[in-house]
Amino acid sequence: MASHHRRRLLFLAASLAVPLSAPAITTTGQYAVTILGRVQHNYQGSAFNAACINDNGIIAGSATVRVPDNPSLALRGVLWQSSTPHYTILGTISELNGYDSLATCINNSGIAAGRSSENTSHGFVYVPVMFTPNGIVDLGVKNAASGIATAINNNGQVVGNLYFDIPETAYQAFLYQNGVMTPLGYPVPTIGYSVAAAINDSGLIVGAAQFGFNESPHAACYTNGAWVDLGSLGSGSNFTGAATSVNDSGAIVGFWTNFPDGGLFIYQNGQMTSLGPGPGREGNPFINNVGQIVQGNYIYQNGVWKDLNDLDLGDGWTFSEAFGINNEGAIIGVVFRIVNRTILFRSALLTPVKSSQQPATRMP
């Protein structure tokens, strides 16, 4: 599951000849649309930025808010839920002026992860964290300059990325479990590039890594203690790619380029297959356990790509980019409309309408 903090990988800081099973949900093909507005209604700049949704419909993200212990504006991790109060503002390790936090992912137990600023004797650094009912858990950065968590599974395993600037710039994925952070290394130790984007409940980690000198990163998975190149498409020598999502069956989706071609892929049964150029305007692809894929403003299900803007989102909203889809088929992303000649962006939740329901648009 995964982020609004853009986009094509680096996570610091999607006719298909694919045997996908039919969704195990009975819907009308319509969605109830919830526009996710301001976290603090009296502060216009506190719009919620959704990043990830769990199967219970709880959404992790962030917003710029005013908090009692910080007189200035602060970027904070935020959780949204349908019950009131809708928003829960998460804390930060350091409460000094300008220090912040960010939630990028959440599991079905409601445990979110992301990053938080930490004040040290060398200044402040961003560290990967988990947001738990008992407070923030600092996952550490080893000897890195900073880090961020990008995904958490239902077993509490967290993956993310560390950034190193000494002796030279490098990115390294990590796995955190049972209280221990383990850097996942590199396919070529002297190159120094591996990133983790997602992890499924079996512990399969996907992302990207560099497998040779003068080569661009390839989509990769980390399994049995090693990075595995998922392969390439086409015959060109300029192939690059990254895996962005994996479901519990081990189906992996991501993006690729092989000049002058490019698009999306699915990797399953040991084979990478092109999904074409990608119908959406932009953005990473995400896949759920019933084989639905979202990318940009499109969803793939039952063998067909469907433009989410063929739906009536209400009030002039246009769906721009999906940031995730849960196993119930609920989609989060960003929508926009023009208000007084200004483009207004908001996060939105699209919930599949069951046969006995009627679609609706609302803003909490």
How would DSSP label each residue in 36-70?
Answer: E-BSSTT-TT-B-EEEEE-TTS-EEEEEEEEETTE
260-265 mean pLDDT: 90
Q: Which helix H or strand E contains 71, and what residues bound it?
A: strand 70-80
- Position 240 scores a pLDDT of 94
Render pLDDT for 69-79 as a digit per residue (tens, 0 to 9).
666 778 999 99
339-348 mean pLDDT: 92
Say if residue 304's pLDDT is above 70. yes
Say which residue the tokens 């109830």 belong to: 32
The answer, yes or no, to whether the previous bond of 23 is cis (omega within 30 of 0) is no
Question: How far, in Å, CA of 349 to CA of 342, rounded?
Answer: 22
195-222 mean pLDDT: 96
Say if residue 10's pLDDT is above 60. no
- Position 222 scores a pLDDT of 98
- Position 106 scores a pLDDT of 98
Cα angle vertex 36, ends 30, 39, to 5°? 165
In a domain, 4, yes or no: no
The three-state secondary structure class of 308 is helix
- Position 5 scores a pLDDT of 34
Q: 6 pLDDT band (50/70/90 cuts)?
A: very low
Q: Are 315 and 338 in contact (CB under 8 A)?
A: no
Q: Tell me the CATH number at 260.
A: 2.130.10.150
In a domain, 1, yes or no: no
Tokens of 17: 């000849």
Render pLDDT for 213-247 as a digit per residue (tens, 0 to 9).
888 999 999 999 999 999 999 777 789 999 999 99
In a domain, 16, yes or no: no
Q: Which helix H or strand E contains 240, and what residues bound it?
A: strand 240-246
Q: Are 252 and 239 in contact (CB under 8 A)?
A: no
In a domain, 14, yes or no: no
Per mean pLDDT, which range of 13-22, 58-67, 128-137 is the poorest? 13-22
Question: How far, in Å, CA of 269 to CA of 271, rounded?
Answer: 6
Pick the closest to residue 353 from 33, 22, 24 (CA basis): 33
Q: Mean pLDDT across the chain, nearest whole number?
A: 87
Q: Integer distance in angstroms from the first to the last C-alpha of the chain?
A: 24
Q: Is the dihedral of CA 54, 12, 132, 81 positive or negative?
A: negative
For residue 120, what are the β-bridge partners? 123
In a domain, 13, yes or no: no
Percent of the chain with pLDDT over 90: 67
In a domain, 7, yes or no: no
Task: Note the residue count of the chain.
Answer: 364
Question: How far, in Å, CA of 62 to CA of 112, rounded?
Answer: 12
Say if residue 123's pLDDT is above 90. no
Tokens of 142: 């080893």
Which structural domain, as residue segments, surrounds residue 53? 27-362
Say if residue 157's pLDDT is above 90. yes
Per mean pLDDT, which range of 15-24, 106-115, 151-160, 284-293 is the poorest? 15-24
- Position 63 scores a pLDDT of 96
- Position 211 scores a pLDDT of 94
Say if residue 171's pLDDT is above 50. yes
- Position 122 scores a pLDDT of 66
Say if residue 355's pLDDT is above 80. no
Render pLDDT for 26-67 as a digit per residue (tens, 0 to 9).
344 689 999 999 999 888 889 999 999 999 999 999 999 987
Pick the closest to residue 351 from 165, 124, 108, 81 (CA basis): 81
In a domain, 2, yes or no: no
150-158 mean pLDDT: 98
How distant, in Å, are the alpha carbons of 2, 53, 357 from that of 21?
22, 22, 24
Question: How far, in Å, CA of 320 to CA of 49, rounded?
Answer: 14
In a domain, 82, yes or no: yes
- Position 361 scores a pLDDT of 59
Question: How far, in Å, CA of 195 to CA of 305, rounded?
Answer: 29
Domain total of the chain: 1
- Position 291 scores a pLDDT of 96
- Position 279 scores a pLDDT of 87
Within 8 A by CB and 6+ apart from 324, the residues are 1, 2, 51, 52, 53, 286, 294, 331, 332, 333
Question: How far, in Å, CA of 95 to CA of 93, rounded?
Answer: 7
Question: How far, in Å, CA of 325 to CA of 343, rounded?
Answer: 25
